[in-house]
């Protein structure tokens, strides 16, 4: 089984769980600790990617470029990654992050909209980034359809293409089907990645299934700190991979120390599979919608559960956060 590149997204996906309030000190401390533990790639940016700080997605405590610069300075061997969603971030954002020392980028689109990514992927390659395509909400496309989207990213220059389970809605068999489709249909030199969420308590099982089917890039967040119920905990991935004989550079006991002594103290609340986060996985709702739905539920005095179920029915995707307010307002109307 080939070695796995472990990507820790605590400082990007975890930004959702922190309401984008990460400080320079927190980023520096976490990045340095992950670097010492042997993590290969550390992702840093607003939860919604470069340029994401906004009224719609949530304003950040600190300019993300300050956070990227702090992370780059804090590490000795790990590579710093950034995320960009075309339409939220622009090419100039990629160039600025590259100038600060970021060397890996993930260009993310909905799982049926890879056609908006080629110019950003090609530009990232020109800048010298290790460039990944990130097909979000992968449960909303068939394995065959996902392969066709992956080929668009590959043709543009993506060196790795991800099956991204943004809703935590996939099961091990459905992960395998999608990874197998990409692994069998892309060029041999193109790697396949997997990004899992914990909404159905399957992020570890799904990550193992992805590796067993040929994925060589696996994402996690330390302590699971991420959107929804969180992501595959990086420290658990490290331990499980070690027990399975899957080769990773991160070391289990140092990762346990990072989780317990560095990341857990900065968490606003534990990452748990509660009623609302379970609904995310069950109904196939984008994980980062959770806190938005909780705020809207409080504002309009309605149930978070009812909002998320309706969001799922309408098949909302990332970028449609304003729909949460609309749904909450509709549910909160007093009958005549």
Residue 16 known to be catalytic:
yes
DSSP 47: T
DSSP 223: G
DSSP 114: G
Active-site residue (options: 16, 46, 139, 292): 16
Residues 18 and 226: their CA atoms lie apart, in Å, by 8
Return the closest-CA partner of residue 247 out of 48, 49, 4, 20. Answer: 4
Q: Which residues contact 124 (CB under 8 A, 6 or more apart)?
A: 94, 105, 107, 131, 157
- Phi, psi (deg, nearest 5) at residue 20: 65, 30
Task: Report in angstroms the alpha-carbon separations of 16 from 11, 49, 127, 175.
Answer: 9, 11, 28, 24
Residues 178 and 199: their CA atoms lie apart, in Å, by 19
Which residue carries 């449960």 as its tokens? 139
Interaxial angle between packed helices 275-283 and 289-300, expressed in degrees from 0 to 180 and rounded to the nearest 10: 120
Task: Report in angstroms the alpha-carbon separations of 303 from 268, 293, 308, 314.
Answer: 22, 9, 9, 17
Catalytic residues: 16
């Amino acid at each position: 089984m080939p070695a796995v590149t472990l990507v820790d997204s605590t400082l990007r996906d975890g930004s959702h769980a922190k309401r984008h309030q990460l400080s320079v000190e927190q980023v520096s401390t976490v990045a340095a600790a992950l670097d010492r533990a042997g993590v290969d790639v550390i992702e840093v940016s607003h939860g919604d990617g470069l340029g994401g700080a906004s009224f719609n997605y949530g304003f950040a405590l600190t300019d993300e470029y300050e956070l990227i610069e702090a992370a780059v300075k804090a590490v000795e061997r790990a590579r710093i990654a950034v995320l960009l969603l075309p339409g939220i971030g622009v090419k100039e954002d990629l160039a600025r992050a590259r100038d600060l020392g970021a060397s890996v980028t993930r260009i993310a689109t909905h799982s049926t909209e890879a056609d908006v990514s080629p110019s950003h992927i090609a530009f990232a390659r020109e800048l010298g980034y290790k460039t990944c395509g990130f097909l979000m909400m992968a449960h909303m496309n068939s394995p065959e359809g996902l392969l066709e989207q992956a080929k668009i990213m590959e043709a543009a220059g993506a060196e790795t293409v991800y099956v991204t389970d943004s809703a935590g809605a996939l099961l091990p068999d459905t992960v395998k089907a999608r990874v197998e489709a990409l692994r069998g249909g892309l060029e041999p030199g193109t790697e396949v990645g997997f990004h899992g969420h914990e909404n159905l308590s399957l992020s570890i099982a799904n990550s193992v299934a992805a590796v067993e089917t040929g994925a060589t890039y696996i994402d996690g967040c330390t302590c699971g700190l991420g959107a929804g119920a969180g992501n595959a905990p990086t420290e658990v991935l490290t331990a499980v991979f070690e027990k399975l004989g899957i080769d990773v550079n991160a070391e289990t006991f140092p990762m346990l120390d990072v989780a317990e002594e560095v990341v857990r103290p900065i968490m606003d609340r534990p990452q748990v599979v509660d009623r609302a986060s379970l609904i995310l996985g069950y109904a196939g709702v984008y994980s980062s919608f959770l806190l938005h739905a909780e705020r809207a539920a409080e504002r309009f005095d309605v149930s978070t559960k009812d909002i998320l179920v309706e969001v799922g029915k309408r098949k909302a995707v990332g970028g449609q956060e304003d729909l949460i307010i609309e749904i909450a307002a509709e549910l909160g109307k007093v009958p005549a």
